[in-house]
Structure formats: structure tokens, C-alpha cells
Structure 1
Amino acid sequence: MNPLLLRGQTGTCRVFPGETIRSLASYIGNRQGAILVADRTAFDLHGAHFPDFPVITLESAETGKTLETAALLYKKFIEQGVDRNWLVIGIGGGVICDIAGFVASTFMRGLDFGFVATTLLAQVDAALGGKNGLNFRGYKNMVGTFRQPAFVLCDYDLLGTLPEKEVRCGLSEIIKTAAIADENLFSYLEGHLEECLALERPALNEIVPRTCRIKLDIVGRDETEQGLRRKLNFGHTIGHALEKAFPMSHGEAVGAGMAAAAHISHRKGMLSKEDRDRLIRLIQRARLLTTPGVPAESLREAIAQDKKREGRTIHFVFLERIGKAVVEAVDLEEIKEALDDLCES
């Protein structure tokens, strides 16, 4: 199978859309050993296909993506005799990939690692790009590293056990990617959304590799998010604030964040009403949120602590049209005022 490649400053990543977990052992190579950090549910469902190496299972909860969890894994790595010739493999969704990637990047000053992405969101976004982040005091991804996984396996068969809500969350990131960079992909989603929601194989063969290519291309040109990569944060400034202010999944929060960003882009005269409504319709059809649904006051503090903030400004991603985004530094008050209007409407 020919991989999609990302050659970054922190390593080369090979992404294999459609690769089976049954081939995982072949990616370990001649290393002395490997240790698996797996989502507990993924282990229960698919553990029979894991290679015969030590497994540490974790609950895949955003609340567990902390330095305390990292310390627990460091302890277990030491107990297992992990050294620099070992490979760390994260098997799970975005939370597990973040934890495994962060711990591998920092243990003994950095071990090689790879991922088996078991959710749609991880296959098209969270497992890709080399960002490995932990939350701190409720603020999302405030502690982290840039370091590329050696490989990412995207086994479509694993998606069949996902709850429908998790599928919708993955589609949220696919919609985001299409909205900022590929109008043709956006049009495909409009015409085949039900097949995508049903995880039909022809649809997965279309949307997963295309979404991966876009992200890998952007990250390959701006690995450490100095400019271009910021476009991938479309919907995430408000989305991350929603996650902190109100219990909801990342995909749901990004859906509402995209809708809010589309409204703000239209309000600034950057995005046409037609394209704004087109995006919101697709988000609604994916059965995702399109309104914040919480008081604006509860979002302001979280946005003020966003890691994309620089002083009194924040790098915010606007849409100019479907398939084209732009990043601008805007005053935090401008975003807060727009949120006031959105939350009241």
C-alpha cells in the first residue's frame, strides 16, 4: 500500500488510509520492543488483533488528557523497561493519540511512535500533523509538543463499532477541511452525506484520503503553525471555548464553532450570505450544532485564554468563500461582541 507522506522538520510520517490493524506488527520493524497505549473500549473490541506486546489501557476521556496521566505512563514505561529503541503505539481516537504522542515525545527526550486511529476524527485530523497536546486546568492543549508519528494506520473496519455521534464528530472535521481548502470535496459531501454518515466504503475511500492529503500538505508547509497551518483552526477558537464552558464533544463544538465563524465572516463582509448558508446547511445535515447554545459570558473567559491569543489580539480564521480561508489577527473584543450577538439571536 502506497502511503501519503509528510516530511516535516520533526520527522517523516507515513499515513495509510484503509490499512488493517492486522498488519500492525509489520510496522514495528527490528526495534527491540514496543508498548501499546490503547483506548480501553478499542482493546475490548479489537484487542485480539493487537500484536503481542505490553498494553496499557486508558479511558478515552478528555478529562484524562492531563499531566497526571502522562506521569502514570512514565511510571509504567519505567516498570516495563522501555528504552530508546522501543516504539510507542497509540491505538484509539484523538485523546489517546494526544496522550501517547506527548508521552513518547518527552520520555527519555523522545521515542519513536505511531498510531492506529480508531475513530473517523482521528483518521482525518487528530492523529495527523504531529501536534501532541495535553489539557491544563481545563484549558485545551495548553501543554504539548510538535513531533511527527512514524506512521498512522487508518483501518476503516474499526469505524464500524463507533457510535453514530462519533461518526458525526469525524464528519465535522472533514467539513472543516473542505470549507477551508477544497470546494470540490465540499460539493462531494453535499451530494453524498448520507453515504458518509453510513460509513459506506466508496465514500470513505473518497473522503478520508482527500482530507488527509489536505492536512498533510498544509502541515508540510507550516509544521509549527507560524502561519498557513492556522487555517486548520477554523471553528476551533469558539469550539474550544464551548468545550470548556459546556460538556460536549470536540466534533460538536467545532460544528457550532464553524457556524459561528461563518456568521462572523459574513458580518465582516468577507463571506457571501449564500456560502454562509451553504456551510450551515451542511453542518445541520450532519446533525451537528449550529448555535453556541450557551450564554456568551461563559465563552469570553475561555476565548481570552486561547493559546492562539497574542496580547489583546487573537489569530482568527475567517472564510472568504467555500474552499478558501484567511487568518487575521483581530481584537478579542471584536470576537466577544460578535459572540454576544450570536448568543442573543
Structure 2
Amino acid sequence: MKILEIQGKTGHSKILVGESLNHFERYIPKGKCVIITDQNVNSLYGDAFTDYDVIEIGTGEKVKTLKTVEDIFAKLVEFEVDRSGFVLGVGGGIVCDISGFVASTYMRGIRFGFVSTTLLAQVDASVGGKNGVNFSGYKNMVGTFNQPEFVICDMALLKTLPEREVLCGFGEIAKHAFIGDMALCDFLEQNHKKAIALDADVIARLVYDSVVIKSGVVNRDEKEKGERKKLNFGHTFGHAIEKTAGLLHGEAISIGMVVAARLSQKKGLLSNEDVERIITLLQKLTLPVNIDADRNILIDAMRKDKKRKGDDIDFVLLNGIGNAIIKGISIAELEKVVGHL
């Protein structure tokens, strides 16, 4: 096991890479602990929580709402959870987002931690202290910055995931490589087949290196005032595609990164060779790199991006692989890009 730490103004978080789900009791405090999980995870690992009150939610973006949060609040009251209580979110990104938001707002905030059961959650959603739910067509519109006390990344849990879920995690790993680590990009290119096969050593390296990149950024810019915005590479178009095309998050982000790479090339920041390298790596990871979607719907979804500032959006471009920069791009220019998808 390797331990990484985030020292934030909203709390101190330990990311336990390689720790086991079965050891979660070593990290929770004495007193009342409630498990929040989804029906799939509960069916697989529920035997580990028989001594605890469990709140089970559904799956998919459709449950990531304030209504779900209200239902969980009601359960916490029913279970007589007070301000000394602890919430443990066990699941993928949606469970982590909801659990963190619930814990951050219930009784003005109680302690919480995560056991991340998907590759996407281990390298992205559970790390960094962003918690939130969707609202009125806007993704992650209502949320908080608040660090979990710990995050358990048990790679053994990945073996029960559908292949499509595993591949989605590679989208975020590739993102970390593209924005800040040429060596990770090289490693992915050389080991993509082993990664897809969930080779233990390769996955351990990928998860650890990704968390190193993200935790380092969060330590320097916890509340996304500057550098942390780079972690949104591919996400402006990605979120629009995810909402309108019914793709999973990692799939949509893959397409979004290709669009961002091409826009970087148009602005003279990224060579054609690097664009092709990005596309080729994503294809090797069997992720989508293009889509046939209704452009008007994509533009409408993009206009609802929470990174929008008036007529501009803070957009992440690449000034070479491994070097992300942030530029204000007008909505009008982005609409032209969408028009050429």
C-alpha cells in the first residue's frame, strides 16, 4: 500500500492506494457510521457491512439529484445520526459525489470517507474534495469543496467491473498524462494491453501516478482558482456529450479531449503529430474519439457549463503533451468548433 496526502483548507485527506475494502474499519472513527452505496456494489460487497446501517441508492446520473440527497437526509435522521456520526461512501464516482455532498451539508457537516470501487473513482472522482449533484440540466451545479478523511483504492475490486466501466477510467488516466506527465503517457502507450487486461502491477502504477498528479494539483489549488482548472481538460465538450449522447463519463471525456487537442492545434499550440498521438492512444485504450450528435443540442449543453463566464468559457488547451494551459474561449468560437465535429 502507498499513501498520498492532500492538505487542504477544508481538511486533511489520505489516499490509500492498494488498501483493501476489508480493512475499512481501521480508518473509521468510533461511534455511528452509516454506509452509502448503490445496489450493484451492495449486492457484491454487502457482507462487509452487516454491522452497519446501509443506505442504498440507484445507479446512473439520474440519481445524482437533490431528491436523492433529501431521501438520504431522511434516512440519516431515522438512523439517529448526530454531528459525531460518520458517512462512508462505497462505490463509484456517483456514490462518492453524493456521499460527500450529503456529509458536507448534513448538520452543517459531518466526517466522511470513501471506498472507491471503480477505476474512474479511484483516479478522479473520489480524490480532491469536490462533491455535488446535478440540478436543472446543469452537471455538478450544486456542491461543495470538502475533503474526505480517507479514500481506499482497492484495485482488487476492479475485477468485478464490466469492461466498459474499466475503460472509462482510462479516459481520466490519459487526461492526467496529457496535461502533466509525459512519462505516464509513454507508459500507457507501452502497456495499454496489460492495462486493459487489468495487470496488477500496471494498474497499481497507473492509479498511483494519476493520484500523484491530481493530489499535487489539489494541494496547490484546492478550490480551483487557477491550476486545478487544468484537470477539466476535455470536460467542456465532454460534459455536453455525456449529457446529450448517453455515453459514460470516461467515453465522453475521451471525445472531449480530442476536440480540445484539435482546438489546441488550430491555435498553433499543439503539433499535428501530438494530436495524432493523443487520438491513437485513446483508440488503443478502446475509447471513442468522435461522435455523430445533434450539434444544436451539444451547443445548448455547452452553454450550461458551470465554467462559463459571460460569453467566455475557461477552456483547457495543450501547449504540447504534458503541458496544459487555460485560455478564455468565446462561446461563439466553441460553437464553430462544434459545427465542424
Residue 293 of structure 1 aligns to a residue in which SS?
coil
Moved more, 45-54 or 141-150: 45-54
Residue 36 of structure 1 aligns to a residue in which SS?
strand
- Output the CA distance in 1 between the equivalents of 2:57 and 2:137: 19
Q: Structure 1 length normalisation: TM-score?
A: 0.97
Question: 1:52-131 counterparts in 2 under 5 A?
Answer: 52-131=51-130
RMSD, matched Cα: 0.9
Contact preservation (8 Å) 2:244, 2:298: yes
In structure 2, what residue type is equivalent to 1:14? K
In structure 2, what residue type is equivalent to 1:92? G
- Output the CA distance in 1 between the equivalents of 2:122 and 2:49: 18
- Output the CA distance in 1 between the equivalents of 2:264 and 2:97: 31
- Output the CA distance in 1 between the equivalents of 2:311 and 2:286: 35
Residue 230 of structure 2 aligns to a residue in which SS?
helix
Q: Structure 1: any 5+ residue segments left out of the alignment? A: none
- CA-to-aligned-CA distance 1:116-170 (integer Å, 9 cap, x gap): 0000000000001100010012221011000000000001111000000001100
Question: 1:1-345 counterparts in 2 under 5 A?
Answer: 1-30=1-30, 32-50=31-49, 52-342=51-341
Residue 321 of structure 1 aligns to a residue in which SS?
coil
In structure 1, what residue type is equivalent to 2:130? K
Contact preservation (8 Å) 1:40, 1:57: yes
Contact preservation (8 Å) 1:60, 1:93: no
In structure 1, what residue type is equivalent to 2:163? E
Contact preservation (8 Å) 2:155, 2:204: no
- Output the CA distance in 2 between the equivalents of 1:298 and 1:283: 25
- Output the CA distance in 1 between the equivalents of 2:105 and 2:301: 27
- Output the CA distance in 1 between the equivalents of 2:292 and 2:166: 22
In structure 1, what residue type is equivalent to 2:53? P
- Output the CA distance in 2 between the equivalents of 1:124 and 1:293: 28
Residue 3 of structure 1 aligns to a residue in which SS?
strand
Moved more, 8-17 or 333-342: 333-342
Contact preservation (8 Å) 2:261, 2:318: yes
- 1:50 Cα offset (Å): 2.9
Contact preservation (8 Å) 2:29, 2:86: no
Residue 291 of structure 2 aligns to a residue in which SS?
coil
- Output the CA distance in 1 between the equivalents of 2:294 and 2:283: 21
- Output the CA distance in 1 between the equivalents of 2:292 and 2:132: 27
- Output the CA distance in 1 between the equivalents of 2:211 and 2:85: 27
Contact preservation (8 Å) 1:25, 1:51: no
- Output the CA distance in 2 between the equivalents of 1:139 and 1:284: 29
Residue 14 of structure 1 aligns to a residue in which SS?
strand
Contact preservation (8 Å) 1:24, 1:51: no
In structure 1, what residue type is equivalent to 2:16? F
- Output the CA distance in 1 between the equivalents of 2:80 and 2:134: 27
- Output the CA distance in 2 between the equivalents of 1:74 and 1:205: 36
Contact preservation (8 Å) 1:92, 1:119: yes
Contact preservation (8 Å) 2:133, 2:142: yes
Following TM superposition, where does structure 1 have runs of at least 4 consecutive aligned residues deviating by more than 3 angstroms? none
Residue 232 of structure 1 aligns to a residue in which SS?
helix
Contact preservation (8 Å) 1:4, 1:16: yes
Contact preservation (8 Å) 2:6, 2:215: yes
Contact preservation (8 Å) 2:37, 2:56: yes
In structure 1, what residue type is equivalent to 2:41? A
- Output the CA distance in 2 between the equivalents of 1:52 and 1:5: 29
Residue 134 of structure 1 aligns to a residue in which SS?
strand
In structure 1, what residue type is equivalent to 2:142? V
Residue 196 of structure 1 aligns to a residue in which SS?
helix
- 1:51 Cα offset (Å): 6.0
Contact preservation (8 Å) 1:38, 1:96: yes
Summarize the Cα distance change of 1:139–1:77 in structure 2 as closer, same or farther, 3 Å threshold: same
Contact preservation (8 Å) 1:105, 1:145: yes
Summarize the Cα distance change of 1:249–1:2 in structure 2 as closer, same or farther, 3 Å threshold: closer
Q: Structure 2 length normalisation: TM-score?
A: 0.98
In structure 1, what residue type is equivalent to 2:56? T
Residue 248 of structure 1 aligns to a residue in which SS?
coil
- Output the CA distance in 2 between the equivalents of 1:111 and 1:27: 15
In structure 1, what residue type is equivalent to 2:279? I
Contact preservation (8 Å) 2:118, 2:157: yes
- CA-to-aligned-CA distance 1:215-239 (integer Å, 9 cap, x gap): 0000111111111000000000000
In structure 1, what residue type is equivalent to 2:302? I
Contact preservation (8 Å) 1:35, 1:87: yes
